[in-house]
């Protein structure tokens, strides 16, 4: 039986021992894993920690503001890095899922490395959890935050890595969040991948496509808030389909909605969402986003699918 209180005590001692007199930067995206990591390290080393929020232009509506506000309210020193243009530049011309992940990972660690040098920091804390490591080692997909297991020495980016949650699965991370007294908005937050909306635009990632999928995601989240599912989101396809808008034929975009139940993201089941909810989502997505002519619902479990499309 996992004991969150014990975990917090032991992990604080470990962090203090590893870090010593050094300073630490924590890459915080606002998700439960990275926020718990940030708070845990802050509890262990206090002001020797600086949290960094990288605005990569791929976050959900209102997310950058939410994360910065949350960290400040917890009394954690926070650095905001606007790297939107740099991230979109690296996605140019990349259409393959793993290539996109690699591009994201490289830009992410270079940006963090730069912040670490500016802050004269030796350690980077990040919220890697057990499922990330398992899937990467198992060859399912290279989670962007798993480095050593795929043969990348993090020191090439100029720092050492601190991963206090790497032995935990998501439900235990949530227990630690509650133990640390984090608000429900964090402890019960829906999982969201590190490479964010870039995994939900199939094919090349552009600012316009991200804006589209951001809007569709907002609609899905609003309409499914009460379902209590593990993850609910929208995906923009790379191909087009014929439809009718304002009485005229248009060759427009396709959006798929994915709503799944899961415990730990290792397996998942597509939720049998009431038809009225799906209809409402479809009407809103095709009505509020002018270029979308078709809205689909994904009924596939994991396996054989994965949760994300990329
Ligand atoms: P999949 O798509 O592999 O997703 O079934 C399992 C869980 O991991 C998230 N995910 C990622 N998280 N970097 C991350 O930090 C990634 O590259 C990545 N790919 C998937 C996904 O949202 C789900 O919760």
pLDDT more than 70, % of the chain: 93
What pLDDT is stored for residue 32 in this prediction?
A: 94
The pLDDT confidence band at residue 265, using thresholds 50, 70 and 90, is: confident
Ligand 1 atom nearest 308 alpha carbon:
2
What pLDDT is stored for residue 116 in this prediction?
A: 85
CB atoms under 10 Å from CB of 87, counted, come to 24
Q: Summarize pLDDT for 102-122 with one digit per residue, the tens.
A: 999 899 988 988 888 888 888
Phi and psi torsions of 43, nearest 5°:
-60, -35
pLDDT averaged over every residue in the chain: 92
Q: How far apart are CA 93 and CA 100, in angstroms?
A: 10
Token code pair at residue 29 = 């995206």
Does residue 241 carry a pLDDT above 80?
yes
What pLDDT is stored for residue 160 in this prediction?
A: 86
Write out the DSSP string of 19-45.
Answer: HTT--EEEE--SSHHHHHHHHHHHHHH
Q: How far apart are CA 293 and CA 245, in angstroms?
A: 8
What residue ranges line ligand 1, CB within 6 angstroms? 101, 135, 141, 143-145, 191, 193-195, 199, 231, 265, 302, 306-308
Does residue 151 carry a pLDDT above 90?
no
Cα-Cα end-to-end distance for the chain: 34
Does residue 145 carry a pLDDT above 70?
no
Q: Which residue has the tokens 């997310």?
A: 63
For the segment 161-168, the average pLDDT, to the nearest whole number, is 93
What pLDDT is stored for residue 119 in this prediction?
A: 86
What pLDDT is stored for residue 152 in this prediction?
A: 60
The DSSP 8-state label assigned to residue 147 in this structure reads -
Does residue 149 carry a pLDDT above 60?
no
Hey, which of 205, 234, 308, 310 would you mutate to test ligand 1's pocket, going by the most ligand atoms within 8 Å of its Cβ?
308
Q: How far apart are CA 197 and CA 209, in angstroms?
A: 9
Rounded to two decimals, what is the model's pTM?
Answer: 0.89
Q: Summarize pLDDT for 4-60 with one digit per residue, the tens.
A: 999 999 999 999 999 999 999 999 999 999 999 999 999 999 999 999 999 999 999
Q: Summarize pLDDT for 191-213 with one digit per residue, the tens.
A: 898 899 999 999 999 999 999 99
Q: Which residues fall within 8 angstroms of residue 225, CB to CB, at 6 or more apart? A: none
Q: Which residue has the tokens 């915080």?
A: 28
147 vs 125 pLDDT, higher one: 125
Does residue 231 carry a pLDDT above 90?
yes
The pLDDT confidence band at residue 161, using thresholds 50, 70 and 90, is: confident
Ligand 1 atom nearest 268 alpha carbon:
5
Q: Summarize pLDDT for 48-81 with one digit per residue, the tens.
A: 999 999 999 999 999 999 999 999 999 999 999 9
Q: How far is the CA of 21 from the centre of ligand 1 (A)?
A: 34
What pLDDT is stored for residue 140 in this prediction?
A: 60
């Amino acid at each position: 039986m996992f004991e969150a209180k014990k975990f917090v005590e032991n992990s604080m001692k470990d962090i203090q021992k590893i870090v010593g007199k050094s300073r630490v930067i924590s890459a915080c995206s606002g998700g439960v894993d990275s926020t718990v990591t940030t708070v845990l390290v802050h509890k262990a080393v206090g002001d020797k920690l600086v949290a960094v929020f990288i605005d990569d232009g791929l976050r959900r509506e209102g997310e950058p503001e939410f994360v910065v506000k949350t960290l400040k309210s917890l009394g954690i020193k926070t650095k905001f890095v606007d790297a939107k243009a740099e991230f979109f530049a690296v996605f140019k011309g990349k259409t393959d899922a793993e290539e996109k992940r690699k591009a994201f990972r490289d830009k992410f660690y270079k940006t963090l490395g730069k912040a670490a040098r500016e802050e004269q920091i030796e350690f980077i804390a990040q919220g890697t959890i057990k499922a990330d490591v398992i899937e990467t080692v198992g060859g399912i997909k290279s989670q962007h935050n798993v480095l050593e297991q795929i043969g990348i020495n993090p020191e090439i980016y100029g720092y050492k890595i601190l991963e206090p949650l790497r032995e935990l699965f998501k439900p235990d991370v949530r227990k630690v969040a509650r133990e640390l007294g984090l608000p429900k908005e964090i402890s019960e937050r829906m999982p969201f991948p590190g490479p964010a909306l870039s995994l939900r635009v199939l094919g090349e990632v552009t600012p316009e496509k991200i804006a589209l999928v951001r809007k569709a995601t907002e609609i899905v989240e609003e309409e499914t808030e009460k379902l209590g599912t593990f993850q609910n989101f929208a995906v923009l396809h790379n191909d087009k389909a014929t439809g009718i808008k304002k009485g005229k034929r248009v060759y427009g975009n396709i959006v798929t909605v994915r709503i799944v139940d899961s415990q730990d993201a290792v397996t998942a089941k597509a939720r049998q969402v009431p038809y009225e909810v799906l209809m409402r989502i479809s009407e809103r997505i095709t009505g509020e986003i002018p270029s979308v002519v078709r809205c689909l619902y994904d009924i596939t479990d994991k396996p054989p699918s994965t949760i994300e499309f990329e």
